[in-house]
Structures are given as structure tokens and as C-alpha cells.
């Protein structure tokens, strides 16, 4: 299969996927009994019929759903994602501002969990079935069952409340104009949420890497290397890493969905002004549907990009798949 054809198929898949997500989320939002009219009547008791009908017209409630969907979709294609009802700003600009904060958080957590997870995985692989491995494996299995929001609360209780090392939340110290906030202060506020978020996936990555390394250590070429006199550590650097880093990278890039889902909790607990906190806030209370749907679509794009990078990386780094593509 030619590379152009592969790209075309992948792009087509991406477009249909996003279309399906938009239809699914729009339908679900439409089913909700918390629609603009009930919300308007709740917040304006005794609203006149005239005002209500004007409001119905503004939100297009009397139009058939399909028409409303097409209107929303064409707006999105033109770059008009609607207006957030809670921020009174265009959805796209709210997402833009919030995503910057989220990206800093998610990428820090992602890098940290990747390095830690891979490192621990290598350690477990080298010491397979010995004491270190058994303890580390128990810890990892325990970590897999720990919910993000609880670990966040524990970090908050220990490092912010009891020890006072880190602030309680937010991305910047309160009461300081944004231009005076230093990078050090931002990092200080970022550490706890990022640590919380990275606990989400590092254990999975470690266990996965351990399995891969054990496969390598059981292989014939390692038997031969051992016959040449290589030690476990040498084998790790000469054979182990080469054979396990690509699956690990693929797994990390494929974990964008969990990363985003985890950020909803981490950001809510630490009042971190990112997309995750925004999506949870947009869904609760009076529900800010334009913003919510916008973030759903945006998160789908984000995850798609993660999977795309994973696929590309596999092709670029792994020479075997390139050979396969030519044949």
C-alpha cells in the first residue's frame, strides 16, 4: 500500500470519526431535559411569553433538530463554535485559553509518567521475579486500582494541608496581576496536579514494559548474547530498550483519552483553570452546552492527534514496518 493511500484512508477515518462524534454528542445534548428554555424559565421566574418566544427563536428551539445540527456543524466548519453561556465569550477562544493551561499540565504529567513508568518497567524487567520486581509489581497493581480523584485528595491533604509545601490550587497565586506571575510560581502551582495526573498511567506503562522486556530476555538472541558474556544490564541497553521503547511510546500516545479524562478530576480538585475543570463546570448547574459540546469535539481531535502520532512514530522509528510497507 502506498504512503499516499495510507494517509488518505487515515484522513477519511478521522473525518468520519469526528462527524460521528459530533452527531452523537449533539443528539445526547438534545435529549437532555435541561434545555435553554427550562433554564431560562428557572432563572427568570415570571418571564413574559414574548420574552420566552424570543428566547426560543434565539436558540432555534422550534426548528427541527436536523436543521439545528446542520447549522451548528456549518458554524463549526466556519470557525464559529457558538457562544459560551457562562463566559459570554466565543467557545473557541475559551477553549484556546483553557487549553494552554491544560496542555502545560497534561504534557508535564505525560512526560513524567512516561519516564517514570518506563524506568520502573525496565527495573522490573532486569530484576524479573526477584524481590525488587515482586514489590514493584504489587505497588503497580495497587496503583492501577487507585482512582485519580482520591490520589489528588491525598496529595492535597499531605503536601498542601499537612506539610504546606505546595499551594492549595489554582494555576497562579491569587491577587497578583497576570503579567507579574513568575515562571517559578507557575511551576510551583503545576507540580501537585501534574503529579496527580501522572499517577493515572505510569503503573500500566510499567507493567506493559515489564512484559515486553521479559519476552526479550526469553528470546534466542538474548540467549546468544548471554553466551557471548553479556550481563543483564548490557542486554537491557543493547537489546531490551530497542525492543520495548516503541510499544511504550505507542501506549503513551494512545493514552491521550485517559489523560484528558484524568485531567477532569485533577483540575477540578486543584481548581486548575484548564479544559478539564471547564468541561465539568460546563456540564453542571445551568449547563453551558455550547462550551460542553465544543470541548467534546476538541477532546476528540486531541485524542485523534495522539493516535496519529503513535501510528506515525511506529512507522518512522521501527525499520521492520518500513520493510513491510515496501514489500
Partner 1 sequence: MSNRTSAAISASATLAIILAIYIAGALLPESALRANFSQKGLPPSFEHLFGTDFLGRDMFVRTCKGLSLSLSIGAVASAISAFIALAVGLAAALGSEFVDYAINWFIDVFMSVPHTVLIILISIALSRGAFGMMAGVAVTHWVSLARVIRGEVMQIRSQQYIAASRRFGKSSLWIARHHMLPHLMPQFFVGLILLFPHAILHESGLTFLGFGLPPEQPAVGVILSEAMKYISAGAIWLAVFPGLSLVVLVLLIDTLGHSARRLLAPREAQL
Which one, 31 or 183, has the nearer CB to partner 1?
31
Residue among 49, 72, 47 nearest 59 (CA) = 72
- Nearer of residues 250 and 299 to partner 1, judged by Cβ: 299
Question: Would you give the distance in Å from CA 16 to the centre of its chain?
Answer: 21
Binding mask 165-204 for partner 1 (x = CB under 8 A): ---x------------------------------------
For residue 291, state whether it binds partner 1 (rule: CB under 8 A).
no
* Total Cβ atoms within 10 A of residue 121: 26
Q: Write down the least CB distance from residue 324 to partner 1, Å.
A: 22
- Please tell me whether residue 20 adopts helix, strand or coil conformation: helix
Q: Which stretch binds partner 1 (CB under 8 A): 3-11, 80-88, 216-224, 298-306?
A: 298-306
- Window 62-101: residues binding partner 1 (CB under 8 A): none
Decide: is 292 part of the binding site for partner 1 (CB under 8 A): yes
Can residue 221 be called a binding residue for partner 1 (CB under 8 A)? Answer: no
Give yes or no for residue 105 binding partner 1 (CB under 8 A). Answer: no
Q: Is 224 in the site for partner 1 (CB under 8 A)?
A: no
Angle at 232 between CA 231 and CA 234, to 5 degrees: 65
Which among 299, 249, 276 is positioned nearest to 152, based on CA atoms?
Answer: 276
For partner 1, which stretch binds (CB under 8 A), given 15-23, 60-68, 71-79, 126-134? 15-23
Enumerate the H helices of the chain as residue ranges.
3-31, 36-43, 49-59, 65-77, 91-126, 131-144, 148-155, 183-198, 202-217, 220-227, 232-235, 241-254, 256-269, 275-283, 289-317, 319-326
How big is the chain by its Cα radius of gyration, in Å?
24
**Choices 2-10, 48-56, 137-145, 181-189; region in contact with partner 1 by CB under 8 A:** 137-145
Torsion of CA 288, 294, 299, 304, to 10 degrees: 160
The footprint of partner 1 (CB under 8 A) covers 13, 16-17, 20-21, 24-25, 28-29, 31-34, 141-142, 145-150, 153-154, 156-158, 160-162, 168, 257-258, 260-262, 264-265, 268-269, 279-280, 283-284, 287, 292, 295-296, 299-300, 303-304
Amino acid at each position: 500500500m502506498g504512503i499516499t493511500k495510507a494517509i488518505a484512508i487515515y484522513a477519511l477515518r478521522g473525518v468520519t470519526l469526528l462527524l460521528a462524534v459530533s452527531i452523537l454528542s449533539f443528539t445526547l445534548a438534545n435529549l437532555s431535559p435541561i434545555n435553554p428554555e427550562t433554564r431560562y424559565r428557572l432563572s427568570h421566574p415570571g418571564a413574559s411569553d414574548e420574552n420566552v418566544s424570543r428566547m426560543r427563536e434565539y436558540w432555534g428551539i422550534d426548528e427541527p433538530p436536523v436543521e439545528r445540527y446542520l447549522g451548528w456543524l456549518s458554524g463549526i466548519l466556519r470557525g464559529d463554535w457558538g457562544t459560551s453561556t457562562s463566559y459570554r465569550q466565543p467557545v473557541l477562544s475559551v477553549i484556546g485559553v483553557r487549553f494552554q493551561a491544560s496542555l502545560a499540565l497534561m504534557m508535564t504529567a505525560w512526560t513524567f509518567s512516561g519516564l517514570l513508568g518506563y524506568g520502573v518497567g525496565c527495573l522490573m524487567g532486569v530484576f524479573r521475579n526477584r524481590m525488587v520486581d515482586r514489590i514493584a509489581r504489587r505497588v503497580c497493581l495497587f496503583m492501577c486500582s487507585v482512582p485519580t480523584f482520591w490520589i489528588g485528595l491525598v496529595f492535597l491533604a499531605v503536601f498542601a494541608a499537612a506539610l504546606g509545601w505546595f499551594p492549595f490550587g489554582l494555576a497562579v497565586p491569587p491577587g497578583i496581576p497576570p503579567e507579574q506571575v513568575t515562571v517559578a510560581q507557575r511551576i510551583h502551582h503545576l507540580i501537585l496536579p501534574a503529579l496527580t495526573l501522572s499517577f493515572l498511567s505510569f503503573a500500566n506503562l510499567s507493567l506493559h514494559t515489564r512484559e515486553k522486556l521479559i519476552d526479550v530476555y526469553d528470546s534466542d538472541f538474548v540467549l546468544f548474547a548471554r553466551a557471548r558474556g553479556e550481563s543483564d544490564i548490557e542486554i537491557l541497553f543493547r537489546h531490551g530498550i530497542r525492543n520495548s521503547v516503541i510499544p511504550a511510546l505507542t501506549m503513551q500516545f494512545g493514552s491521550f483519552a485517559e489523560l484528558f479524562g484524568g485531567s477532569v478530576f485533577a483540575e477540578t480538585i486543584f481548581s486548575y483553570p484548564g479544559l478539564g475543570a471547564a468541561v465539568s463546570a460546563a456540564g453542571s448547574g445551568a449547563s453551558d452546552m455550547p462550551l460542553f459540546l465544543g470541548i467534546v469535539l476538541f477532546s476528540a481531535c486531541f485524542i485523534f492527534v495522539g493516535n496519529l502520532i503513535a501510528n506515525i512514530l511506529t512507522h518512522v522509528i521501527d525499520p521492520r514496518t518500513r520493510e513491510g510497507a515496501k514489500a
